[in-house]
Amino acid sequence: MSGTIIADFGRVLAGPYCTMLLADMGATVIKVESPIGDETRAWMPPEHEGKSTYYLSINRNKLSIELDFSDPGDLATARELAARADVVIENFKPGGLEKFGLDYQSVAAQNPDVIFTSITGFGTAGGASLPGYDLLVQAASGLMSLTVAPETEPFRAGVAVVDVFTGMHACIGILAALNHRRVTGEGQRVEVNLMSSALSGLVNQTGAYAIAGVVPTRMGNEHPSIYPYEPIATGDGEIVLAIGNDRQFRVLCRELGTPELVEDPRFAFAPDRSRNRLDLRPLLEAALSHATATEWFERLTAAGIPCAPIQDVAAGVQFAERIGLDPIIQAGSGDDSLSGIRNPITFSQTPATYDKAPPELGADTELVRRWLAGSSPLASISAKEATA
C-alpha cells in the first residue's frame, strides 16, 4: 500500500477501521474532519488522558486535516484533495456530498482513475433515507434475534460487529479495485452497506433461510448444527467445548473417561449428537465435574480437543501474549506514543507499521495544504505524486 494516498471523509467506526487497516499496511491516509471533529472524539468514557479510547483505537497512522465545507476555501481544498487521491472513502448519507461537488460523478470528472468508496447503512435504493447505525442494523438484519438465550429478549452483540464487518468489506473492495486499476487503468466506485454486510456476516444463519427457508432462532451459546459446541459446567465454572467432528468426540470421551458414549447410538455421529443434545449434556457435565475448568483446559488442549476458558478482555489480551501473538503495539514514538492492538494481518515481506499515534483534530492541516500547493511533500508521498 505504500505510495497510495487515501482521502478519508469517513467517521465513527466502519470507515475509520477500514482506513486504519490500510494505513497500517503503508497507505497515506488523510482524515478529513469538520471543526467539531469525528463524533467518536467525544464518545467517553472510557478515556485516556482526556481522550476517547474509542477514537484512539481506530485512527492511528493517519494525518488529520480540519475543513469546514461551508467555507469556500476549505471546500476547494477538499475538492483538490479528492482530485489528487488514489482512494476516496466516505460515509455521508446517500446524496449528501452532491451539494459540495464531492460525490462520485464530480470527483471522477477530475480524477477518472479514483477508487471512490461509499459506506451507507441500508444502500442507495429504498433504504437510502434510513440512518446507518450498527445497532439498528443488528436489529433489522436478524442478528439480535439470534443473540443470547431463548428465554431472554433479543440482545445486541457486545461490540459493533456490523460496523467491523462493513469496514473489512470496504477494505477488501478497495484492494480489489486498486488491483483492477493496476491491470486496466480504470477507476471505479465501490459501495458497501451495513445491512448487506450483516446478512453476509450471518453466513450459515442467513444461508439456512435462503437455501431451505429455515428461520433460525436464539439458542444461547449452542450451535444449531453441531454438539457439544458451547460452555459446559466443570468442577468450578465453565469451559467452552467446540467438537466439530466424530474423531474429536471420540478423543473427548477418552479423556473424560466415558468411552461408552462413543458406542451409544444417540451420540455416535454428529447429527445424532445434535438431535440428542439434551440427553448428552448432563452426561458431559457429570464427567467434567471431577476437575476444574483450568485443569480440563490444560488436559484437553494437550489431547488436541478444541476448548477454551471463558475470560474477560484483559485475560484475553494476556492469553494472546502468552501464546506469542504479541497483541499490543506502540503507535508513534516518544511522548506521543500510544498502545494499541496489533493489525491482525501478518506479512512476510511488508509487515504492518505503527509510525503515528492517532492525530489531534486538524494536526496536519497545514502540512496537507502545503502538499496540495506543491511546496511540501507528505511523510509518505505516493509515487504518482512524487513524479507529478
Neighbouring C-beta atoms of residue 232, cutoff 10 Å: 21
CA distance 198 to 196: 5
Q: Is 163 a catalytic residue?
A: yes
Q: What are phi and psi of 326, to 5 degrees?
A: 45, 60
Residue 271 region by backbone torsions, left for phi larger than 0, else alpha for psi between -120 and 50, else beta? alpha
Whether residue 228 has a cis bond before it, omega within 30° of 0 = yes
Across-strand partners of 189?
A: 116
Beta carbons within 10 angstroms of residue 257's beta carbon: 9
The CA distance from 117 to 103, in Å, is 10
Q: Are 55 and 45 in contact (CB under 8 A)?
A: no
Query: Which cell is 43 given?
Result: 464518545
Phi-psi region of 257 (alpha: psi -120 to 50; beta: other; left: phi over 0): left
Residues 6+ apart with CB under 8 A from 193: 119, 120, 121, 122, 123, 127, 132, 166
Helices 134-141 and 194-201 cross at an angle (nearest 10°) of: 50
Of 38, 163, 312, 364, which residue is the catalytic one? 163
CA-closest candidate to residue 293, choices 221, 230, 253, 235 = 235
- Which strand ranges, in their side-by-side order, compose the sheet holding 229-234? 229-234, 237-242, 307-309
The answer to whether residues 113 and 181 touch, using CB atoms and an 8 Å cutoff, is: yes
Closest CA to 225 of 243, 241, 250: 243
Strand partners, 339: 330
In the sheet where 28-33 sits, what is the strand order? 62-66, 28-33, 5-9, 87-90, 115-120, 188-193
**Amino acid found at 74:** D
Active site residues: 163
